[in-house]
Structure 1
C-alpha cells in the first residue's frame, strides 16, 4: 500500500484517485472485493467487539460481536438486493439508465458502536463502486484499526489503494469543513455527526394493544432494550400500552429482569438522565444497575432494564427523547387510537424518527400506525433490534436506519443512496441500439495493479 498520509487533503485526494479507478471495475471484480472485505470483518468481529467495549466501558461484548457479524453480512445485499452495477432498460420508454457512483463518500461515525456503522458504510460504498473515507471517533481506537483492516483486505482482493481510508488527522478537522470539502461528493452521517457523545435521534415508540400475548411482548422488549445496553440505533425507548394490557405487560417485564420504578424513582432517574435537558452522555451504553446507582435508585444488580412511568407523551417530557441506555419510558393510554397519537407525539418531539414498533393482531391498527407515525422503519410484532429477514439480519437494518445522507431530512441508508442513474435516450436512434446498452459491460478490468496515488516525499509519515 502507498506510504500512509494523515492530513485530510491527502486522504481525500487519494480517495478521489481510487474512486476514478474503481468506477471502471466490472461487476465480477466488485463482487470479489466486497466478499473479501465482508469476510475480514466477520473474522475479526469478536476481537474488535472486545476492544471497543474495553476502551469505552460501554455495551456488551457478546451483543457487539453479533452486531459486527451481522453488519459484515450486509454484503448479502450485493447478491440478494437490486442490481446496482448494471444498466437497466425501460422498454416502454425506449431508454436505458446507467448507474453512476457518487465518487468519494465521507462517513462520520457516532461515538459508540462505531465500527458497526463504519462496516456498513464501507460495504455499501464498495457495492456501488465508490471510494470511502471514514472518520472514526477518538474514544474507540479499535474502530480505526478495524477500518484499516477492511482497507487492507480490499486492496489484497484487487481494489485500488485508497478505496477505503480512515481519517486519523489530529486534531481532526471540523465536521463543517469536511461536509463542504470540494473533494467530498456525498456525506453519510449519524443524527449528531459532530458530537463526541452518543447521539440520540429521538424516542423510538412501541405501541402494544390489548389483543397481544403479554409474555411474548415482554420477552421481545427485554431482549431488544437490553441488547448491547441500547447502543443500537432504533432501540425501543418509549412503551405506549393500552390500559387493558398494561398491568400484565409490566408484570412480565418485572418477571424477566426489569425494574419497574414508582413515580418517585422515575423522577430521580429523569433528573439524572436529563439534568440539562439532553441525554446524559456518560449513561449511553451503561448497564441498568450502573445507571440506577448514579441516579440514587436501589435495584437488583442483575436488573436488565429500567422502566420509568410518565403521564403524557409531550415534547416537554424528557423520557420521550431517548437516551441510548437500557431505559424504557412507559405511558398508558385508554385505547389504540390514543396510542397511535401518543407514538406520533414521541417521534415528532425530535422531528423525523429512526424507527417505531407496533404489537397488534388488528391489520387496521397496524396500517394506521404505519401511515401516521413518521419514521423510516416500522417493525410489526417483533423486536426493533433483531427483527429482519432471518437471524440477526435486522441488526443491519437497525444500524443502517441510524445513518443518513447529510442534508436529507429522513433517516435511513441503503446502498442505492450512494449512486445516481444517468438516463440514455434518443429519438433519432433505432430502439435496438439503445436496448443493447442494457446488456453491455462498459467497464473493463485493468491489466495489472492500479498505479498508487502519488505522494510527495515530504508528505509521507516520517518524511520518507
Structure 2
C-alpha cells in the first residue's frame, strides 16, 4: 500500500527514532578515546566534501555562493572541531578537589536537529559533530528547499562515524520533509532535546514542543561606527562580513549607525570596498522587493547584488558587492531597517555615541534582541558603555559581525548555533557546543557538619503578642492571670527543647 507523503514521513521519523535509541545506548558505553576518534573522522569527511556539498547547496537552494559555502563547511569541519576535540565529555570530566565535587558527563540521548535552508550542509556537519562528541544520536529535519544537500551531508557524517567505529544508526535525516514529520520528531517521547536553527515560526514550535530546546532568534544586527574608529579597517571588515555568502548568516550586519562627523569618510571607504549607495528612487525600488506581505522576500535572501538589482529594476556598477541605502526611520514600514539576509545595508547618521546607542537599541528591538551587535571604535569607554547596556549576547568589536559572532575572528566559542538569551526568548545566550548536549551530574562529598538548631528563648515581644491574642478572646481572666499562664507555658516549652 502506498502511503501519502505525510504518513510516510511520520513513519520514517518513528523508525529513525527507534534505531537512534538503540544506537545511542551502545555509544554511551564508549570511552573518550573512541568518541574522539569518531568525531575526528567526521571532521575529516566534512573537510574533504566541503566544496562538493557547497555546490549542491547553492544549486538546490539558490542561496549564497560556492566559495563562501565551502568556507562555512570548512569552518564547521575544522574550526569547530579544533575547539571541541580536547573537551572531556565522557565519565568524570572535572574534579574540584578543594570543594570535593566531581562532575560526571551523561549524554542527553536523542537530538532533533532542525536545519535551515540558508546554511544546510554546514549546519549538519556542525550539529552532527557536537551531538556525537557528547555521545548522543541526532535526527535531522531539513528545510524542504534544501532536502537533497542536507540528506547528503548527513549521509557523509553517518558513514564517516561508522567507519571510525560508531554504532550504525546514530545519524539520520528525514528524506521527504513535511511539517507533520517535523512535529512528530520534536514532540515524540524518544526525542530528548531540540537544536532549532531556522525561521521564527520553527523556533517557536520547538519551544512549544514540551521538550528542552535550544533555539536561535532573528539577528537584525546593528553596527555602530564611532568617530574614533579606524574607518578604512571598519569598511573592509563590514563589507567582507556582510557580503560573505551573500549575507545568509544571521550574525551578518543589517544596518550601519555612523557618527555624522565621519560620515563622508565612511561612505568613501565603503565605496572603495565595493559598496554602492542607492539614490532615493533606487532605494525605493529595492525597499519594495525586500518584503512581501510583511515578511522577508525569499527572492532576495542570499542573492547577489546584481540579482537583487535586476529584481528591483535598477542598474548598478560592475563589481558592486553590497547595496546601501540611507534611512532615518526604524520599523517594518521601512524595509532597510529589518533583517534582510542579503547584501543590503541600511545606513543611519547620528550626532554622537549616545544617539548611536539609542538607534542600535531601536534596531535590536525591531527584530534582533539578544543576538549580535557590532561596534568599531578605539574609545574603550564607549565600547564599555555599549557592552554594558545593549541587549545583545555578542558584542563584536572592530571585526565583522558575521565572523565575530560565530567565533571565527574572536575568542568566542566557534559555533553555528547562536543563543539569544532571555532577550530573544531563548534558553541560553551562549554559542552552542557539545557541553549543552550533556547532563552534568555532581558527586558531592560532605566537607562540613551542619550545626544543630538552637532553641529560641522566649522574648518579651513573644509574651506580649501571646498576651494580646489571648486577651482578645474574653476568657474571663485578668491580664495578670493570663500573663502568668503564658510565662509558665513558655518556660515549660523552653525546658523541654
Contact 1:207/1:239 (CA < 8 Å) preserved in 2? yes
Deviations 1:324-380 (A, max 9, x none): 100111111110111112112211212533211110101111111122222222211
Give 1:56's aligned residue: 61
Give 2:113's aligned residue: 107
Contact 2:143/2:177 (CA < 8 Å) preserved in 1? no
Structure 1: give runs of 5+ residues left out of the alignment: 430-464
Q: Is the deviation greater in 402-411 or in 87-96?
A: 402-411
Taking the TM superposition and a 5 Å limit, the aligned residue runs for 1:60-75 are 60-73=65-78, 74-75=80-81
Structure 2: give runs of 5+ residues left out of the alignment: 1-9, 204-215, 449-497
Contact 1:118/1:147 (CA < 8 Å) preserved in 2? yes
Please state which structure has a larger fraction of its residues in helix.
Answer: 2
Contact 2:294/2:332 (CA < 8 Å) preserved in 1? no
Contact 1:42/1:68 (CA < 8 Å) preserved in 2? yes
Contact 2:38/2:161 (CA < 8 Å) preserved in 1? yes
Q: 1:414, CA displacement in angstroms? A: 2.3
Give 1:164's aligned residue: 171
Q: 1:265, CA displacement in angstroms? A: 2.0
Give 2:387's aligned residue: 370
Match of 2:149 among 142, 147, 151: 142
Say which SS state the counterpart of residue 212 (structure 1) adopts: coil
Length-normalised TM-score, structure 1: 0.84
Matched, 1:17 2:22: yes
Distance 1:77 1:101, change over 3 A: same
Give 1:339's aligned residue: 356
Q: 1:56, CA displacement in angstroms? A: 2.2
Q: 1:318, CA displacement in angstroms? A: 2.9
Match of 1:131 among 120, 132, 137: 137
Matched, 1:225 2:230: no
Say which SS state the counterpart of residue 168 (structure 1) adopts: coil
Say which SS state the counterpart of residue 250 (structure 1) adopts: helix
Match of 2:438 among 419, 441, 452: 419
Taking the TM superposition and a 5 Å limit, the aligned residue runs for 1:55-454 are 55-73=60-78, 74-79=80-85, 82-85=87-90, 86-140=92-146, 141-169=148-176, 171=178, 173-192=180-199, 201-314=218-331, 316-350=333-367, 352-387=369-404, 397=414, 399-401=416-418, 408-410=426-428, 412-427=431-446
Say which SS state the counterpart of residue 120 (structure 1) adopts: helix
Distance 1:310 1:253, change over 3 A: same
Say which SS state the counterpart of residue 89 (structure 2) adopts: coil
Q: Is the deviation greater in 63-72 or in 309-318?
A: 309-318
Contact 1:277/1:318 (CA < 8 Å) preserved in 2? no
Say which SS state the counterpart of residue 440 (structure 2) adopts: strand
Match of 1:32 among 15, 18, 37: 37
Q: 1:422, CA displacement in angstroms? A: 1.0
Of the two, which has the highest radius of gyration?
A: 2
Higher relative contact order (CA 8 A, sep 6+): 1
**Number of positions where the alignment pairs a residue of Structure 1 with one of Structure 2:** 423
* CA distance, structure 2, for counterparts of residue 425 and residue 332 of structure 1: 56
Say which SS state the counterpart of residue 298 (structure 1) adopts: coil
Distance 1:213 1:204, change over 3 A: same
Length-normalised TM-score, structure 2: 0.79
